Chains A and B, each alone.
Chain A
Amino acid sequence: MEKKIGSLIVFFILAGAVVATGCIGGGTQTPSSSASESSTSTQTQKEVTLIIAIPEEIEGTDVQQVDWTNIVHRLIVQPLVVYTLDLKGVVPDLAESFEVSEDGTEIIFNLPKDAKFSNGDPLTVEVIKKSVDRYRNISPYADDFAVVEDIIVKDPQTLVFKLKEPANYFWAVLASEYGAPVDVDLANEIGDEAFNRKAVGSGPFEVEEWVQASHVTLVKNPYYKTHIPFVKNKGPFKFDKVIVRFIPDDFTRVGELEAGNVHVIIDVPLEQVETLKNDPNIQLFSYLQPGIDYIMINTQKPPLDNVNVRKAIALAINREELATVLQVRPAHGYLSPAQVGYDETTEKELQNEYSYNLEEAKELLANAGWKDTDGDGIVDKDGEPLKLTLMVPLDSPMLKKAAPIIQSQLKTVGIDLELREYEYTYIRDMTRKGSFDMAMRFYWWSDADILIYIFHSDAEYPWSNPEVDKMLEEARSIVDFTKRAKKYGEIQKTIAEEMPAIPLFSEYQYVGVRKEVEGLMIGIDGTLYLNDVELS
């Protein structure tokens, strides 16, 4: 009896192993080191492949169906325009040129005559219009185009976006992957699900294969043409393939870069930055977070309903200390230099008014009735100590590190801050419901317009101010980049007067690139331009 069972067991194990190996088959291997494949020699017919590693797998390849985008989408689609590298203006990409009407309600795009998608399908102005319609139907971010009243096809090469009102912030949509046209006719033919596996746009590459959990292989789009003035190569890219590998573990990702198996990693963990800086084979590019990390305060919950208490907290936080310890850029305003609408003068003024000042902080607390009457180091009022809870996102390493520092900083003015860790999405949920004291939050968006989603009364957070509402709405319609920045300066100063949120810092992000990769460009918000890249 035992014999039979013994052999049965062995049989099942072997059978299982055979079945498993059989299921895997041949064609789904991770591309191994491309060091042997990279050669610029034009005599050889060797295929040149660029390998990029990102931490998380994509949700899908269709920009109109996903919740977040990354380099994969950036390579498959092509927006009508892009921002300049310093974010101070907008230049054509897919479009040959564009004009904005005097009153700012019309954007007229001139499209190239024989533009094609990467599969050869014609990229006509009608298709672009249909693409926007599809976006408004199925994308979770359909409201991005809410300001568009109508899209008019004036002639086969001219497309007019008629806006309900001038909207400078709308460029952020048009310049992103989300706003880029996709092959709608193909999508309708094969269905959304199939299109999400293998979307088609007019970007420099098209999807060859998406191997679940492993990588995406992209091949060169021979029809690609761009009108971006600051790139030298306006046609198809200089390498044949791109493989984007999903490598979640930080150490492994950096290890592959150091070993030369991967050419570019988008997300260098901060602990590895020093090591890579000293590695002669690696170039490091850094860019600043287009946004800030901040503390949102529940202005409806006592004692935080007193503006002096809120200001006291703001003045008790030493941003310079945070910056030195964490290697971040201190934020005194609600915008970062990597955003459209940022104004340097405003941040300096806010820095002067609200920077670290222990004495003033204590004074403000005293004025609000909070004094340390029992000598225990914590201020109190009517017998109650000033005890507050800060929600800390456990999936945000930088904020997690900052929390205990802030806790000890607030202790020096007599505030007892309790730290509670949660997942970020849960924190966002709770702040919307108003069940919090203070919460650490952040945002990433190239345009100052994001402030309307935080500080406007429609945003459903505890604080709002009708004057700020009005100013935020007005700022949306200002056409001139500089004037708009000035308006956001006023908005930020008005918000700061009530201090419903305390800016902390902006994080630096690093992109690690092998030295064999030449010609890579990166905007201050982290947008990568690979048009001029060659592998040596």
Chain B
Amino acid sequence: MGDLTEYTIKRLIIGVFIILAVTVILFGIMQAMPGDPIELLAGERVSPEKIAQLKAQWGLDKPVYMQYFYWLSRIIRGDFGRSMVTKLPVIELIKARLPYTLLLTGSALIVEYVIAIPLGLLAALKWGSKTDHVVVTLSIVLWSMPSFWLGVLLMIIFAIKLNLLPLSGYSGLKSLILPLLTLSLPSLAGTLRLTRSEVLEVLREDYVLTAYAKGLPKYKVLIKHVLRNALVPVTVMFFLYLPWLIGGAVIVETVFAWPGMGRLLWKSITVQDYPVVQAIIFIIALLTVISNTIGDIVSAVLDPRIREAL
């Protein structure tokens, strides 16, 4: 267990450095963007004196490195400042919207896995048959559908023509169905193909043949040996998907007027609402580093060869 601990510690330290580097890059990008946030907010009728006053108010007249350190020290304490647009605390804006986004993307991720893994397994077992071709082709067709197009299509069929489901907005779990399908259907191809190819590889392994030869029932072989081993890369992929839970549904949220983070992120980027953009991207970056670190540690646990790699 010694070199696993060593690997884990090294990996965690690297993680912390990556996060710091991200904060510097993030801050630098926002500064380098053309346009001035105060001028952007000000309409035609705002005088130059008022603009200068607003700039001082937001600390935008101080040197860049000072702005960075102020920002970093506040972030560490969980204070993301206030939105320049609504003057409300950024944390509040995020807290009001994040649960809706997590509900949508989290359940879409679950649905995606629940559909894709069994189908991938099926396709691998029936490799080369019509079933295999149909499943794979169907997943590619879904993959190539742009989300706004699929969303609008589902909206027209189920909400307008058939009047079965709500058109937009959050009004209980029923309103989750269309956005969820729009989000999960196109992306299940990735997980499906991965499961299928991993299962195919494992099926060729000697120990599977051995298990059958020992007289184990087929389903036990499939679940205990085949699936469990095939799912190792799929599991690691899952951790890599996690960061997308926050920002990955912007288009679907816009189409369905879903009250999540999507519009907030979009809007704050366009009007250069620095504090909001920095907060959201920081959270996504943090989550990315964390889940990648966990993913790496998980694969090191599962496959001892990786522990030498660092």
Interface residues of A (CB under 8 A from B): 1-3, 5-6, 9, 13, 16-17, 20-21, 23-24, 28-32, 56-57, 59-60, 65, 67-68, 140-144, 192-193, 196-197, 211-215, 245-249, 251-252, 255-256, 258-259, 261, 395, 423, 425-426, 428-429, 432, 443, 445, 450, 453-454, 460
Instruction: List 14 extra interface pairs beyond A1-B302, A246-B257, A460-B48, CB under 8 A.
Output: A5-B298, A5-B302, A9-B238, A17-B110, A30-B257, A32-B166, A65-B87, A67-B42, A68-B43, A140-B54, A142-B50, A248-B257, A429-B36, A453-B44
- Size of the chain B interface, CB-CB below 8 angstroms: 65
CB-based nearest A residue for B173 = A21
Q: Is B27 an interface position by the 8 A CB rule? A: no
A343 to chain B minimum Cβ distance, whole angstroms, is: 22
Docked-complex contact A30 and B256, CB < 8 angstroms:
no
Q: Is B275 an interface position by the 8 A CB rule? A: no
Neighbouring A residues of B131 by C-beta, 8 Å: none
B302 to chain A minimum Cβ distance, whole angstroms, is: 7
CB-based nearest B residue for A424 = B40
Q: Which of B45, B160, B235, B267 contacts A259 (CB 8 A)?
A: B160
CB-based nearest A residue for B261 = A213
Docked-complex contact A212 and B44, CB < 8 angstroms:
no
Complex Cα spacing A252 to B229, Å: 45
Interface residues in B71-124 by Cβ distance below 8 A to A read: 85-88, 93, 96-100, 102-103, 106-107, 109-110
Q: Which of B45, B171, B172, B267 contacts A141 (CB 8 A)?
A: B45
Neighbouring A residues of B107 by C-beta, 8 Å: 17
Interface residues in B243-277 by Cβ distance below 8 A to A read: 254-257, 259-260, 263-264, 267, 270-271
Select the residue from A65, A248, A423, A429 with max chain B CB neighbours within 10 A.
A248
CB-based nearest B residue for A255 = B167
Interface residues of B (CB under 8 A from A): 34-36, 39-48, 50, 54, 85-88, 93, 96-100, 102-103, 106-107, 109-110, 152, 155-156, 159-160, 163, 166-172, 175, 228-229, 231-232, 235, 238, 254-257, 259-260, 263-264, 267, 270-271, 298, 301-302
Q: A17-B107, A24-B100, A140-B46 are in contact. Are A67 and B41 (CB under 8 A)?
A: yes
Nearest 9 pairs of A and B residues by beta carbon = A30-B169, A213-B259, A23-B99, A212-B96, A214-B259, A20-B102, A425-B40, A247-B257, A20-B103
Docked-complex contact A213 and B96, CB < 8 angstroms:
yes
Q: Which of A59, A423, A429 contacts B85 (CB 8 A)?
A: A59
15 A-B contacts, Cβ less than 8 Å apart? Answer: A16-B102, A16-B106, A24-B103, A30-B169, A30-B171, A56-B267, A140-B50, A140-B54, A143-B50, A212-B96, A212-B97, A248-B263, A252-B155, A255-B167, A450-B44
Q: Which of A144, A212, A252 contacts B257 (CB 8 A)?
A: A252
Q: Which of A20, A23, A24, A212 contacts B93 (CB 8 A)?
A: A212
Neighbouring B residues of A443 by C-beta, 8 Å: 44
Select the residue from B43, B168, B259 with max chain A CB neighbours within 10 A.
B168
A420 to chain B minimum Cβ distance, whole angstroms, is: 13
A55 to chain B minimum Cβ distance, whole angstroms, is: 10
Q: Which of B34, B255, B302 contacts A252 (CB 8 A)?
A: B255
Neighbouring B residues of A141 by C-beta, 8 Å: 43, 45-46
Complex Cα spacing A454 to B99, Å: 45
Docked-complex contact B47 and A143, CB < 8 angstroms:
yes
Neighbouring B residues of A2 by C-beta, 8 Å: 228-229, 232, 302
Complex Cα spacing A28 to B170, Å: 8
Docked-complex contact A20 and B301, CB < 8 angstroms:
no
Neighbouring A residues of B44 by C-beta, 8 Å: 443, 445, 450, 453-454
Complex Cα spacing A453 to B254, Å: 35
A26 to chain B minimum Cβ distance, whole angstroms, is: 9
Docked-complex contact A213 and B87, CB < 8 angstroms:
no
Docked-complex contact A259 and B298, CB < 8 angstroms:
no
A355 to chain B minimum Cβ distance, whole angstroms, is: 28
B207 to chain A minimum Cβ distance, whole angstroms, is: 14
Q: Which of B103, B238, B264 contacts A213 (CB 8 A)?
A: B264
Q: A65-B87, A196-B86 are in contact. Are A31 and B171 (CB under 8 A)?
A: yes
Q: A24-B103, A428-B39 are in contact. Are A249 and B86 (CB under 8 A)?
A: no
Complex Cα spacing A9 to B97, Å: 25
CB-based nearest B residue for A140 = B46
CB-based nearest B residue for A212 = B96
Neighbouring A residues of B97 by C-beta, 8 Å: 212-213
